[in-house]
Amino acid sequence: MKIWDPRIEEMPAEELKKLQYRHLKTLVYRLYSFSEFYHRRMDEQKVHPDDINSLADITKLPFMYKSDLRDNYPNKIFTAPQDELVRYHVSSGTTGKPTVVGYTQKDLEIWTNSLARSLTAAGLGRGDVMQVSYGYGLFTGGLGLHYGAEKIGATVVPTSVGNTERQIELMQDLSVTAIACTPSYMVHLGETAEKMGISIKNDTDLKTAVLGAEPWSEAMRRRMQEQMGISAYNIYGTSELSGPMFTECSEQNGIHIWGDIAYTEIIDPDTGEQLPSGEKGELVMTILQKEALPMIRFRIGDITSIDESVCPCGRTHPRIERIQGRVDDMLIIRGINVFPSQVEHALLGIPEVSGHFRIVVDRKGALDTMLVQVELNPDSFSDKLSDIMDIRNKVSHLLKNQLNVGVGIELVAPGALPRFEGKAKRVTDRRVM
Amino acid sequence: MKTEDYIIKQISVFSENRPGRLAAIAKAMEEEEINIFAFSIAEAKGFGVVRVLVDRPKDALDKLVNIGFMVSFTDVIAVSMHDVPGGLYEIANILAKSEINIEYSYAYSGKEAAVLILRVDQAEEAVQRLLDNGANLLKSEMFA
């Protein structure tokens, strides 16, 4: 079993903690001195860099939220000048303004190194041919995996998303051994191959899949592994932290979070209190060495737990359990983040329908489908079907523009949808992962 | 004879595409002892519109609104057709010559003759042309 950087990855836990503390201390001093944003935040919280005298003192520092990035669009909280940036990535902006993430040369190196360790932990290396079927471009998945795979000496096939039959042909022609994509795309690939009369298990060299960017279950992993004759590994990351960075090792028992790169906390989402190892809560991460856009105690919103025991693979860095859900009501539809509040916002701008709606999410084959049921306003009712179809198309177009994902629309009569006195339950998620 | 005497209030009901909707409408009519002369269902993806001609449109509308349906009145005309080959052509041809567009129509077999219900883009004009050409239109008072 190969380890990319044994000196770091097998570092005794105590030493790792010391290293984390040194990075944290440096980070806090740097930000307090040079970032207006962090300086103000820390003053508001009445915390000074001198108050950080141990790793545990991190709890004195303020949290950071996704809204901080949006409110400071595009780059107001960057701590590196533009001429030191070598790349931007931009989120899809599904909750309103997109968020922009910038990278210095060193930020990219750390990101790439993180993935080099992770892909090695998943058993990949020189000799592997890796098809990267995550989107290339503003989305972090494609380029992130691309450079990580090149770093370990694998041969990259940068297929990006779509054109599935061609992807399967290439998989055969170039003897692809590994793939990185969303779990639902993996299922879709398997189904498409089957229609083409190709068995992934028997007719290709595919052995490893690195899957992430949307939730999936252990049951789904087992089924994929069995049907396609592959080992499937969970990968984790978010664009705010760089992009995909962390994967499981061959043990398939938790995602290794490299401690020198990220400090992980699990908190109670309501109180903000840190929770002990093993307890489920909201994942909070501090990226310890980030230059362009430092993230301290970033509240990701994903629910998981942390395991700090040494992994049987020998790596000492903590692992997080596969993501169990979200603190907020975010949905992930075909890899795109969707909030019911966005749907509401879009509907309120359409006079022909009311603000009452319900979202039904299903998975048909490998594809997520999202149906929005919305009440037609009585004034807009016409007994000409074409008039109602026009309204339906209008709603459909507006929602697609807002959400960046196509949704089905079902118009229903006024009052047909349930009303809520407390918190509205607007989402029915029928997906079986 | 005024043309508006022939403009009939049809009840149009929006209906989600699921079992039991027509039954609910029919039950409401039964409870109010409203007689349905004719009806049609137009269906699109996910929804439909039920169109009904009844003897007491106002009562029918109130009842349906009360039980939560989205209902509106639509102006239609009803033509008594000769129940022989060519009967429909006679009517349709009058409207075609007058450049009146039929948005939709449905028919029912009445006690004395076949009746064609028409929703057209110019209702009064259509009535006039049909009368001018000797067609036999049903008066709206039959449906009120």
Dump pLDDT digits (tens) for B1-14. 688 899 999 999 99
- Give me the pLDDT at residue B1, please: 66
Check A376 against B69: CB less than 8 A apart: no
Secondary structure class of B59 (helix, strand, coil): helix
For residues A256 and A259, what is the distance between their CA atoms, to the nearest angstrom?
Answer: 9
Kindly report each contact of residues B73-76 with a partner whose C-beta sits within 8 Å and lies 24 or more positions away, as own/partner: B73/B9, B73/B10, B73/B11, B73/B12, B74/A383, B74/B9, B74/B10, B74/B11, B74/B12, B74/B119, B75/B7, B75/B8, B75/B9, B75/B10, B75/B119, B75/B123, B76/B7, B76/B8, B76/B10, B76/B117, B76/B118, B76/B119, B76/B123
Q: Percentage of chain A surpassing pLDDT 90? A: 76
Query: Is any Cβ of chain A less than 8 angstroms from the Cβ of B18?
Result: no
Which residues in chain A have their CB less than 8 angstroms from residue B10's CB?
383
Task: Quick: pLDDT tens for B92-134.
Answer: 999 999 999 999 999 988 777 889 999 998 999 999 999 999 9
- Give me the pLDDT at residue B4, please: 87
Check B49 against A378: CB less than 8 A apart: no
- Give me the pLDDT at residue A433, please: 62
Taking 80 as the threshold, does the pLDDT of residue A97 lie above it?
Answer: no
Among chain B residues, CA nearest to A382:
B72
pLDDT band at A330 (very low <50, low <70, confident <90, very high): confident
Check B51 against A383: CB less than 8 A apart: yes
Closest residue to B12, CB basis, from A383, A409, A416: A383
User: What are the two backbone dihedrals, phi and then psi, of residue A211, each rounded to the nearest 5 degrees?
Assistant: -120, 135
Check B44 against A384: CB less than 8 A apart: no
Alpha helices per DSSP H over A45-163: 66-71, 105-121, 140-151
Which range (A67-71, A422-426, B74-78) has the least confidence? Answer: A422-426
- Is B73 or A216 the better-scoring residue by pLDDT? B73
Q: What is the mean pLDDT of chain B?
A: 91
Query: Is any Cβ of chain B less than 8 angstroms from the Cβ of A391?
Result: no
| CA-based nearest distance A393→chain B, Å | 12
- DSSP 8-state code for residue A64: B
Note which residues in 93-112 of chain B have CB less than 8 A from chain A. 103-104
For residues B17 and B44, what is the distance between their CA atoms, to the nearest angstrom?
Answer: 9
Query: Is any Cβ of chain B less than 8 angstroms from the Cβ of A414?
Result: yes
Closest residue to B70, CB basis, from A381, A409, A410: A381
Q: Chain B interface, mutation test: which of A356, A372, A383, A391, most B Cβ atoms within 10 Å?
A: A383
- Give me the pLDDT at residue A421, please: 63
Find the largest Cα–Cα distance for chain A: 74
Taking 90 as the threshold, does the pLDDT of residue B62 lie above it?
Answer: yes
Query: Is any Cβ of chain A less than 8 angstroms from the Cβ of B72?
Result: yes
Closest residue to A413, CB basis, from B14, B42, B44: B14
